[in-house]
Amino acid sequence: MKTSITLLKSLLFLSLCTLVISSCQDEKVVIEDVLPEQTTGYYSSSEQAHLNSILSLPTAGPFDYNVNVAREIAGSLGQTTINSDLATLGRVLFYDKEVSKTSAVSCGSCHKQELAFADDAAFSEGFSGAHTDRNSLSLGSFISFQLYYDTPIGPAPTAGFFWDERATSLGEQMAQTIANDKEMGMDLSELSDKLSSPDHMHYRVLFNKAFGDHNIYPNRIVSALEAFVNSMVTSNSRYDKEIIASGGINARAEFPNFTAAENRGKDIFMSNCASCHGSSITAAHRSQVNAGVLTVANNGLDVNYADQGLGEVSNHDYDNGKFKVPVLRNIELSAPYMHDGRFETLEEVVEFYSTGVQDHDNLHPNLKDNNGPKKLNLSPSDSEALVAFLKTFTDQTFITAEKYSDPFVK
Ligand code: HEC
Ligand code: HEC
């Protein structure tokens, strides 16, 4: 029906043109306005118009957000299907300051791509100017984020989100973060209403692509953010390239393209750090290290902690001073370090493990020897080697990938 009307109009236009040639220019503009929507790219012309002034998204269709990581790095866990329209919506929400109560901060304010989605302040500034209680955590893993924490290998417990693991799913983490009175201060229903208003037409377009209709609900907001965060895969560091080139997990072998110092650092790491942090290197390695994945531990930062971490959530003394064993991927970029950002550099972190581990009641056995806290007493060259190795986890592709970047037109 529409086509035949268009055809009629076109014929009419043509005949008008031949009859009144001088008026053709003006007439053409009018006629284009009443033509049905053109779908030239992925979005229709009117959808594109809603997006254009606000967002810079690929016009040919969304980036591919499916997770596809080499088997050598991720074992059998490297493939995750992610709806790319949903992740695109998540990307927009992630960088939208409107998501916070005062429109002052977005997720991206405290999770900056160039810093591996961490923040360079020890405590980040939230929507009201108040600061967070803990240091922002970097995002990105070598498999889907949720999967990384969630996949039980054998009888292993699953790990939660946040430094104290208080959120048991990524969705719960998102909801808590958006509502948090220091972070975004926003009620999810209020947010749904806000984003549904006519001055946010771009959201109607994006929700429609992701869900088939343009309605905005709290659970849709959460699942879009989840899809985006789950798609954040970092698996192209120099460390990863060596693992792939060497045909799989053979952590003890020397890597041909590493310097002597980096290889030395790798040995020190495998002997002293991998028992806790090994899972952040490869999934396969994680299952090799121990069936019971270590997700939280006390690493002896203090004898008395100002912040009890897991102990504040569980109220058990035996949990005091226990915090998430963090992912060390891109660790070079996510300074400052520890839950309170107390260390500015990796050199300071290594110095701490070398000489500074404190005899806390809950100090994990991996950091103890017969005489109490283990002192590695690394020589200056071994300390440098360990730092050099930690820097091989840096993935430039991840921190520059457009699909993870801020899509808002400034
Ligand atoms: C005001 C700063 C701030 C904002 C805004 C913010 N975050 Fe965070 N984020 C943090 C801090 C700080 C932590 C660690 C908090 C803790 O553990 O108690 C964190 C933790 C997380 C974690 C847990 C990571 C892990 O390894 O357990 C995820 C995931 C996350 N944020 C995603 C988001 C998303 C998505 C948004 C937007 C909806 C967001 N954050 C907004 C500061 C912020
Ligand atoms: C007993 C388990 C354990 C061992 C062994 C261990 N760590 Fe840690 N590591 C942790 C925990 C837990 C944290 C977080 C502590 C906190 O913030 O309170 C942490 C934090 C870190 C951080 C800061 C991460 C961040 O995002 O802020 C770095 C870097 C680090 N460790 C490197 C190492 C190195 C290098 C070694 C070996 C010399 C090592 N760790 C050995 C458990 C361990």
Residue among 325, 364, 393 whose CB has most ligand 2 atoms within 8 A, to mutate: 325
Residue among 136, 228, 229 whose CB has most ligand 1 atoms within 8 A, to mutate: 136
Instruction: Give nearest CA residue, ligand 2 atom 10.
Output: 325
| Structure tokens that stand for 167 in this block | 């959120």
Of the bound ligands, which one is closest to the alpha carbon of residue 383? Answer: 2
Q: For 172-186, what is the mean pLDDT?
A: 93
Instruction: From the CA of 125, give the closest atom in ligand 1.
Output: 1
Instruction: Give nearest CA residue, ligand 1 atom 12.
Output: 136
| Structure tokens that stand for 19 in this block | 């009859």
**Phi, psi at 28, each rounded to 5°:** -60, -45
* pLDDT tens for each residue of 94-109: 999 999 999 999 999 9
* pLDDT tens for each residue of 234-263: 999 999 899 888 876 655 688 999 999 999
Say whether pLDDT at 283 is over 70. no
195 lines ligand 2 (CB under 6 A): no
Q: Ligand 2 centre and the CA of 325: distance in Å? A: 6
Of the bound ligands, which one is closest to the alpha carbon of residue 323? Answer: 2
- What residues are in contact with ligand 1 under a 6 Å CB criterion? 94, 99, 105, 107, 109-111, 124, 126, 132, 134, 136-137, 139, 161-163, 173-174, 177-178, 183-184, 225, 229
Instruction: Please provide the size of the chain in residues.
Output: 410
Residue in this structure with the two tokens 């300074």, named with its chain if needed: 335
CA nearest neighbour of 77 among 195, 233, 198, 276? 233
Say whether pLDDT at 7 is over 50. no
Instruction: Give nearest CA residue, ligand 1 atom 11.
Output: 136
Of the bound ligands, which one is closest to the alpha carbon of residue 322? Answer: 2
pLDDT class for 170, splitting at 50, 70, 90?
confident
pLDDT class for 280, splitting at 50, 70, 90?
low
CA separation for the pair 326, 296 (Å, rounded): 9
324, 296 contact by CB (below 8 A): yes
243 lines ligand 2 (CB under 6 A): no
Q: What is the pLDDT of residue 289?
A: 37
283, 156 contact by CB (below 8 A): no
138, 398 contact by CB (below 8 A): no
Instruction: From the CA of 390, give the closest atom in ligand 2.
Output: 35
Q: Ligand 1 centre and the CA of 250: distance in Å? A: 34
Indicate the average pLDDT of the chain. 85
pLDDT class for 153, splitting at 50, 70, 90?
very low
Q: What is the pLDDT of residue 18?
A: 38
* pLDDT tens for each residue of 355-366: 999 999 999 999
Q: What is the pLDDT of residue 32?
A: 42
The amino acid sitting at 349 is: V
Q: Ligand 1 centre and the CA of 48: distance in Å? A: 31
CA distances (Å), origin 293, targets 108, 126, 249, 262: 30, 33, 18, 26
* pLDDT tens for each residue of 292-328: 456 789 999 999 999 999 999 999 999 999 998 888 9
The half-sphere exposure of 187 on its side-chain side, counting CA atoms within 13 A, is: 3
Q: Ligand 1 centre and the CA of 89: distance in Å? A: 18
pLDDT class for 279, splitting at 50, 70, 90?
low
Say whether pLDDT at 50 is over 60. yes
Q: For 59-79, what is the mean pLDDT?
A: 86
339 lines ligand 2 (CB under 6 A): yes
